[in-house]
Amino acid sequence: MDDDTEAELAEAQSWAGHPGGSGGGSAGGECSVGGVGVGVDDGAGGGAGGGCAGDDGAAVSTARGGLPMLPTELLTNSRLSAYRRCPALHAMRYEQGYRPRASAPALRFGSLVHLGLEAWWLAKNEGDPLTAMFARLDAAAREPDVQLDPYEIARAHAMLLGYHERWIDVPVEVLAVERRFEAQLVNPETGRASRTFALAGKVDAIARFHDHGGRVYVVEHKTSREDLAPGSPYWRRLRIDSQVSHYHRGAQSLGYDVAGCIYDVLGKPSSAPRLATPVESRKYTKPSKAEPEPRLYAGQRDTDETPGEYQDRILESLAADPARYYQRVEVVRLDADIARHDQDVWAWASAIRDARRTGVHQRSGACFTYGRECEFYEVCTGVGTLDDARFERVENIHPELVESEEHQ
Ligand code: SF4
């Protein structure tokens, strides 16, 4: 798609001052895309003219590894996924900055495991990854907004301990952990950089795998309930997964010559805690000579399984079939794959700009994807509004990019 000065001008006029439509990558950011920077820049290479009035050029240049000043509005993979799922969803989340106040339990669980993995990888080269991992997990689980029950925390413990046992001896040199990147978004037809958007993200890790010929890979951690057997749909869809390509681009922008991505997946055991049988449903054996004391029928319980017992039982399942629950798969990206991805991203970015210009943020109808009702369903169906107490308007629309203290 052609470089679109007109569209960007129109966008700047209609969105100046709009939360998230302005720069800074944050809802309500200070740096306007309107004005001279956007309107008169010739678009060549994302040069200084593409910056926002009031942008801190020196700080940006340092933070971005000395690259020319980049646009401050960021396109993360999460943002692009939201747009692909539903333009209306994207508009509410990323243009207006609305979020539900509480995240779904599945997301909180995934985040907790992710924190443990982050600590493990940080300590992998030297140190004690197991201790670091559990210290991080326990600290995170104590935070008031985690709101996971003790069984979920026990399950996270078991999954992470199994992860350590499975992978600790694999010869890996960790090069970076939770590394943030920002890179130019380039029009594949003209070679010119966008003055509106920069690509951004944070890779879980970058590492040299000596069991893969010493090649360097982006590492992406996931938890999943899906079938992880070789050839299953879980792996097949990664062939054109945009996140893998996005992070491949990101690692390249950080100066790493990456061969691809190691998709590092932890399967979630589905077994639930065993709870006490309701009193009214309990059945006892009849006393006999051999067994004079009545006892509960097999499979019935008079007490709940404790979180510790549950953790031990999950660990037994993981140890019995580690290949089912722990998989690392190399996902390759050829130059042609990345070129095609670049075309896709440019097209999505152009569509976002077009939607701003027209004010039409289409409703896709993908309201029950991933087995969950979309967080904005009541808004779209007119039952609720964005002003309801369950929503808040956030300052930072990309919280996943915030650097933790360990990485500064
Ligand atoms: S409820 Fe449906 S139409 Fe509305 S934002 Fe969500 S996915 Fe889009």
- In a shared domain, residues 223 and 109: yes
Q: Looking at ligand 1, which residue's alpha carbon is closest to its atom 3?
A: 363
- In a shared domain, residues 50 and 66: yes
Last residue of a domain, one of 285, 316, 338: 338
Last residue of a domain, one of 317, 338, 359: 338
User: Residue 31 C-alpha to ligand 1 middle, in angstroms?
Assistant: 29
Is residue 239, in this structure, part of any structural domain at all?
yes
C-alpha dihedral over 397, 400, 406, 407, to 10 degrees?
-90
From 374, 375, 383, mutation site for ligand 1 pocket: most ligand atoms within 8 A of C-beta: 374
User: Residue 88 C-alpha to ligand 1 middle, in angstroms?
Assistant: 6
> Is 374 a pocket residue for ligand 1 (Cβ < 6 Å)?
yes
Q: Is the pLDDT of residue 29 over 50?
A: no
Burial of 337: CB neighbours in 10 Å, binned 0-12, 13-18, 19+: middle
> Which CATH number is 138's domain given?
3.90.320
Is residue 293, in this structure, part of any structural domain at all?
no
Is residue 294, in this structure, part of any structural domain at all?
no
Q: How far, in Å, CA of 333 to CA of 336, rounded?
A: 8
- In a shared domain, residues 311 and 358: no
Q: Looking at ligand 1, which residue's alpha carbon is closest to its atom 5?
A: 89
Name beta bridge partners: 201: 181
- In a shared domain, residues 202 and 115: yes
Q: pLDDT per residue over 199-224, tens digit each?
A: 999 999 999 999 999 999 999 999 99
Across the chain, mean pLDDT equals 83
> Is 363 a pocket residue for ligand 1 (Cβ < 6 Å)?
yes
From 83, 84, 89, 95, mutation site for ligand 1 pocket: most ligand atoms within 8 A of C-beta: 89
Lowest mean pLDDT among 60-74, 151-165, 284-298: 60-74
Give how many domains the chain has, as a whole number.
2
Cα-Cα end-to-end distance for the chain: 38
Q: For residue 342, give both structure tokens.
A: 């670049």
Residue-level pLDDT at 67: 54
- In a shared domain, residues 137 and 241: yes
27 vs 349, more confident: 349
Element (DSSP H or E) covering residue 350: helix 335-358
DSSP 32-91: -S-SHHHHH---GGG-GGGSPTT--HHHHHHHTTTPPPPPSEEE-HHHHHHHHH-HHHHI
Q: Is the pLDDT of residue 13 over 80?
A: no
Last residue of a domain, one of 338, 363, 390: 338
For residues 47 and 68, the answer to whether their CB atoms sit within 8 Å is: yes
- In a shared domain, residues 64 and 143: no
- In a shared domain, residues 19 and 143: no
Residue-level pLDDT at 62: 34
Is residue 134, in this structure, part of any structural domain at all?
yes
- In a shared domain, residues 132 and 93: no
Q: How far, in Å, CA of 382 to CA of 99, rounded?
A: 17
- In a shared domain, residues 320 and 387: no
- In a shared domain, residues 47 and 157: no
Taking each helix axis from N to C terminus, what angle separates 105-122 and 150-167, rounded to the nearest 10 degrees?
40
Is residue 283, in this structure, part of any structural domain at all?
no
> Is 373 a pocket residue for ligand 1 (Cβ < 6 Å)?
no
User: Residue 364 C-alpha to ligand 1 middle, in angstroms?
Assistant: 6
Residue-level pLDDT at 268: 94
Band of the pLDDT at 406, cuts 50, 70, 90? low
- In a shared domain, residues 36 and 158: no
Is residue 175, in this structure, part of any structural domain at all?
yes
For residues 185 and 212, the answer to whether their CB atoms sit within 8 Å is: no
Is residue 174, in this structure, part of any structural domain at all?
yes
Q: pLDDT per residue over 316-371, tens digit each?
A: 999 999 999 999 999 999 999 999 999 999 999 999 999 999 999 999 989 998 78
Q: Which domain holds residue 230?
A: 105-271+305-338
> Is 386 a pocket residue for ligand 1 (Cβ < 6 Å)?
no
- In a shared domain, residues 109 and 94: no
Lowest mean pLDDT among 98-112, 224-238, 306-320, 326-340: 98-112
User: Residue 343 C-alpha to ligand 1 middle, in angstroms?
Assistant: 26
Q: pLDDT per residue over 76-98, tens digit each?
A: 999 999 999 999 999 999 999 99
Q: Is the pLDDT of residue 117 over 80?
A: yes
Is residue 285, in this structure, part of any structural domain at all?
no
